Amino acid sequence: MKINTNYLNLKDSYLFATVSRKVAEYKAANPSKEVISLGIGDVTLPLVPAVIDAMHRAVSEMGNADIFKGYGEYQGYDFLRQAVCGYYAKKGVRLDENEVFIGDGAKSDVGNIVDIFDTDNTVIIPDPVYPVYVDTNIMSGRKITFVNGNEQNNFLPLPDESTEGDIVYLCSPNNPTGAVYTKEQLKLWVDWALERDAVILFDGAYEAYVQDSDLPTSIYQIPGAKECAIEFCSLSKTAGFTGVRCGYTIVPNSLIRNDTSLNKMWLRRQSTKFNGLSYIVQRGAEAVFTDEGLRQNRENIGYYMENARIMADTLTELGIWFTGGENSPYIWLKCPGNMSSWEFFDLLLNECNIVGTPGVGFGQNGEGFFRLTAFGNRDDVIKAMDRIRKMRF
Ligand code: PLP
């Protein structure tokens, strides 16, 4: 018996454990201090009424012998896949129902998609980025090359003559930097992939936060993308489904490699290893895409984006460099005074009683940067910004 020794190459994930330990120690030593978290990567507003009503109705249906549902469709119920197609149609993207796969969230699908690719492929991953791309490829022993995000390219790396690889992960709006690729920039990646028969894995988990109508919210808004890209989306941050769980992955029928349809491969993978998402959750998800559901969720997103605006205004006022916050719930700032990510974390915790996330936890290029999130409540955000303003970094 041999274990998968690739797992031994994974780095321990110290980031959130260290943040929690430091915060717990500070609170124990300073019980009278009110600590505000701007590090939270989870939503705080509850599910909207349209979703709750739909889920209540679905629960009642499950108690009725005539319409009770057992195992569902591997790929998701037709009603939800049609709703997703309708959502994409509004973005100007035509999808076939069979190109939409409903799952339990973007993390699972982003992690599982590697099953359909040979371990021999070289994977390109931006640095800094959501750590799941790196770890899932280490687990399956793939070679990883990094493309650098930095202040000069606004944390939006682009391909050049030296960029070689078979699979590239793109995350836009980006976690942790909040940076969003323009259509022109995404086109460079699409053309790069088409030239080499490479595949783009596009993570659009934060697409609903894009406010600027000129910016793309799906890679399929770029000509040629249906021949080279798989797109992952999630209702987690769009509609507060982090605990309920629902996401969707688009694998176009025209995505063919080695004379094989990746859509058919992914269907085979899902129908073998996944038994579908609960009917109740899928009815709740369907409600997200109704006019009322979209309106109610837009209000929640508007609340978070106002938090982001308040944070961005404060940083601008203090002359601190940052990106994000305009089309994403994340603000990525440069630690003042050339502090390291952890030095700034400690200073912010000890002097302002504010918790954020050290950028170095998202990749080497994150050193010297820091992530704030807009998912907190308004009073806390205002209070936190007052404290930062008084510090005059
Ligand atoms: N992709 C990115 C970029 C994320 O930041 C997250 C969650 O934080 C996910 C995917 C996972 O989302 P889900 O809750 O749908 O699994």
pLDDT, tens digit, for every residue of 196-205?
999 999 999 9
In the predicted model, what is the mean pLDDT of residues 165-176? 98
In the predicted model, what is the mean pLDDT of residues 359-368? 96
For 102, 325, 374, the CA distances from 296, given in Å and listed in that order, are 22, 21, 18
**Among 13, 107, 238, which residue has the most ligand 1 atoms within 8 Å of its CB, making it the best to mutate?**
107
Asked if residue 7 has pLDDT above 90, the reply is yes
Asked if residue 393 has pLDDT above 80, the reply is no
Residue ID of nearest Cα to ligand 1 atom 8: 41
Residue whose entry in the numeric block shows the structure tokens 């989306």? 233
Residue whose entry in the numeric block shows the structure tokens 């998912």? 375
Average pLDDT over the chain, rounded to an integer: 96
Determine the distance separating the centroid of ligand 1 and the alpha carbon of 158, expressed in angstroms: 22
Ligand 1 contacts CB of residue 175 (under 6 A) = yes
| pLDDT given for residue 315 in this prediction | 96
DSSP secondary-structure letter at 75? T
Determine the distance separating the centroid of ligand 1 and the alpha carbon of 268, expressed in angstroms: 24
**Among 108, 232, 237, which residue has the most ligand 1 atoms within 8 Å of its CB, making it the best to mutate?**
237
In the predicted model, what is the mean pLDDT of residues 366-374? 98
| pLDDT given for residue 124 in this prediction | 98
Cβ contact 74:271 at 8 Å:
yes
Cβ contact 177:368 at 8 Å:
no
DSSP-derived secondary structure for 219-254: GGGSTTGGGTEEEEEESHHHHS-TTT--EEEE--TT
| pLDDT given for residue 391 in this prediction | 86
pLDDT digits (tens, 9 = 90+) for 284-307: 999 999 999 999 999 999 999 999
- Write out the two tokens for 282: 């899928």
In the predicted model, what is the mean pLDDT of residues 348-352? 96
Torsion angle of C-alpha atoms 12, 15, 21, 26, degrees rounded to 10: 160
What is the second-level CATH architecture of the domain 5-47+293-389?
A: Alpha-Beta Complex (3.90)
Cβ contact 330:38 at 8 Å:
no
Determine the distance separating the centroid of ligand 1 and the alpha carbon of 136, expressed in angstroms: 14
- Write out the two tokens for 262: 């990746």
Asked if residue 364 has pLDDT above 80, the reply is yes
State the chain's maximal CA–CA distance in angstroms.
67
Asked if residue 274 has pLDDT above 80, the reply is yes
Of the pLDDT bands very low, low, confident and very high (cuts 50, 70, 90), residue 14 is: confident
Determine the distance separating the centroid of ligand 1 and the alpha carbon of 321, expressed in angstroms: 26
Backbone φ, ψ for residue 228 (5° rounding):
-145, 0
Determine the distance separating the centroid of ligand 1 and the alpha carbon of 1, expressed in angstroms: 34
In the predicted model, what is the mean pLDDT of residues 179-183? 98
Residue ID of nearest Cα to ligand 1 atom 7: 107
Determine the distance separating the centroid of ligand 1 and the alpha carbon of 7, expressed in angstroms: 22
- Write out the two tokens for 374: 């807009």
| pLDDT given for residue 152 in this prediction | 96
In sequence order, the 6+-apart residues with CB closer than 8 A to the CB of 193 are 168, 199, 200, 228, 229
For 155, 230, 266, 301, 312, the CA distances from 306, given in Å and listed in that order, are 23, 31, 39, 9, 10
| SS3 assignment, position 144 | strand
Determine the distance separating the centroid of ligand 1 and the alpha carbon of 110, expressed in angstroms: 9
Ligand 1 contacts CB of residue 106 (under 6 A) = yes
- The full set of domain ranges for the chain reads 5-47+293-389, 49-290
| pLDDT given for residue 12 in this prediction | 82
Query: Which atom, in ligand 1's list, is nearest to the CA of 241?
Result: 14
- Write out the two tokens for 378: 């308004």
**Among 203, 236, 238, 274, which residue has the most ligand 1 atoms within 8 Å of its CB, making it the best to mutate?**
236
| pLDDT given for residue 316 in this prediction | 96
Ligand 1 contacts CB of residue 234 (under 6 A) = yes
DSSP-derived secondary structure for 84-99: HHHHHHHTT----GGG
pLDDT digits (tens, 9 = 90+) for 117-146: 999 999 999 999 999 999 999 999 999 999
pLDDT digits (tens, 9 = 90+) for 229-243: 999 999 999 999 999
CATH code assigned to 49-290: 3.40.640.10
Torsion angle of C-alpha atoms 91, 93, 97, 101, degrees rounded to 10: -70
In the predicted model, what is the mean pLDDT of residues 162-190? 97
| pLDDT given for residue 140 in this prediction | 95
Helix-strand-coil percent breakdown of the chain, rounded to 5? 45, 15, 40
Ligand 1 contacts CB of residue 171 (under 6 A) = yes
Q: Is 195 exposed, middle or buried (0-12, 13-18, 19+ CB in 10 A)?
A: exposed
Q: Is 299 exposed, middle or buried (0-12, 13-18, 19+ CB in 10 A)?
A: exposed
pLDDT digits (tens, 9 = 90+) for 31-61: 999 999 999 789 999 999 999 999 999 999 9
Residues in the chain: 393
Amino acid occupying residue 8: L
Cβ contact 182:271 at 8 Å:
no
